[in-house]
Structure 1
Amino acid sequence: MKLKNLLKIILIVSILTTSAFAIKKDEIKSEMNNKIDQIISILKNEEFDKEKKNKKIIEIIDVVFNYKLMARISLGKTWNTLSSEKQDEFATLFEQKLKTSYIEKLNLYTDQKVKIIDLVPYLKSRLQLTTEVIGSKEVYEIKYNFYEDKKTNEWLIYDIDLVGVSIIQTYRQQFSGLLKEKTFDEMLVVLKDTTNQND
């Protein structure tokens, strides 16, 4: 499936990242399950304009994503060659790009149902939450990869697998391709431009 098609269901991905607080290990399934209705309610609320919906969705998903770790993984070995200032600049842009992708797809929600299947160990010390997004004609399997923040003992999302394709690995391939043709600063300009076009 092409990245464009994957991004079409990115909104549905976001409706599971709904805890008001960071999540403890034994709370992942219950917190995800209990908060799905909250986000769907926001999407359906006709009293909220688009801007208000966007703000509420972002506030909810912010607490369970580690955007900086996602940025680092997506950049690969290049990350370690950068100054802390450049790392922060890239991480900020990457976070903005992810959020823009979510917001861009708000209008794609059409009463799909979300079903939590299971939470299982993944890659030794991590966890993977398997879910299904059930539409009128299609069912998508989406897996959320969690790691434990050792400082807080809270679990955060660092990657999402959409129908067999890792979002982070997809971005990693894109950035790797760009860096074969451009300097890092030139790639930042491209990232800024593509993100701003979707604002």
Structure 2
Amino acid sequence: MKNILKVLLITLFSISSLFALQKDEIKTVMTKKIDDSISIIKKQNLTTKEKGQEIVKIIDEVFDFRKMALLSLGRDAWVSATTEQKKRYLKAFEINLKNSYIDKLGLYTDQKVKVIDLESTFTQRSNTERIQLVTELIGQSESYKVNYLFYENKTRGWVIWDINLAGTSVITTTRKQYAGLLKQKSLEEMISEIEAKNKING
């Protein structure tokens, strides 16, 4: 189960678009890009790092790393951060997430990904629409749902702000991890720790 959940990260960064992603394009674009990503993973002439770098190049326009970083850190910590700390944290968060993905490419063992459905819900409180693309990671012995959560960015179209892996939110998991660290360390120390980890894995 643990390794399978790690493998799920392989598909998180497989979707991209050269234009602002529209609502009616999400399912088609996601399906194609997931397939393209898996094709890259299967290439025998590339190292794991090269595969990761090739896929990472196509992710920036569909993932809202800034929003993911803010939600992971929490409002109180963000408000208390200096301008320089905010800048460093946003950069460190994105690099760390991408490095984590590249590191886990080696766990891929011919799993298949099936795009199931596109679900839409409205949040009455903010009068905004949220879209969830439901997919399934199919392994030899077990299968798990992988849901991509989208919101509409005013300038970038529909972008991913969270991923639900077998019932577990990436944002919620990261937020709990950071909250635990901030009980033991200052924000400056936590940012420096993430930066140091990125340097080692870079």
Question: What TM-score do you get using the length of structure 2 for normalisation?
Answer: 0.88
Unaligned 5+ runs, structure 1 = none
In structure 2, the CA distance between the partners of 1:31 and 1:58, relative to structure 1 (3 Å rule), is same
Separation in structure 2 between the aligned mates of residue 139 and residue 52 of structure 1, nearest angstrom: 27
Shift of 1:20: 4.3
Q: Which residue of structure 2 lines up, in the alignment, with residue 161 of structure 1?
A: 164
1:46 alignment counterpart: 44
Q: How far 1:189 moved relative to its partner?
A: 2.1
Match status 1:134 vs 2:103? no
SS of the equivalent of 1:62 reads coil
CA contact (8 A) 2:151 2:159 kept: yes
Matching residue of 1:59: 57
Q: Which runs of 5+ in 2 are unaligned?
A: 124-128
Confirm whether residue 35 of structure 1 aligns to residue 40 of structure 2. Answer: no
Q: Structure 1 runs of 4+ off > 6 angstroms?
A: none
Q: Which residue of 1 aligns with 2:190?
A: 187
Q: Separation in 1 of the partners of 2:58 and 2:46?
A: 16
> Is the Cα–Cα contact under 8 Å of residues 18 and 39 in structure 1 kept in the other structure?
no
| 1:126 Cα deviation from its structure 2 partner | 1.2
- Residue type at the aligned position of 1:131: T
Compute the TM-score of the two structures, normalised by the length of structure 1: 0.89
- Using the TM superposition, give the Cα deviation of residue 121 of structure 1 relative to its aligned residue in structure 2, in angstroms: 1.5
The equivalent residue for 2:126 is none
**In 2: Cα distance, 1:123 partner to 1:90 partner:** 31
Cα RMSD of the aligned pairs, angstroms, is 1.9
Residue identity matched to 1:43: I
* C-alpha displacement of 1:36: 2.3
CA shift, 1:8, in A, is 3.8
How far residue 103 of structure 1 moved from its aligned partner, in angstroms, is 0.1
Q: 1:148 aligns with which of 144, 148, 152?
A: 152
Counterpart amino acid of 2:95? Q
Distance 1:95 1:105, change over 3 A: same
Task: State the number of aligned residues.
Answer: 196
Q: Which amino acid aligns with 1:195?
A: N
Residues 27-71 of structure 1: CA deviation (Å, up to 9, x unaligned): 000111122221111111223333432221101222211111111
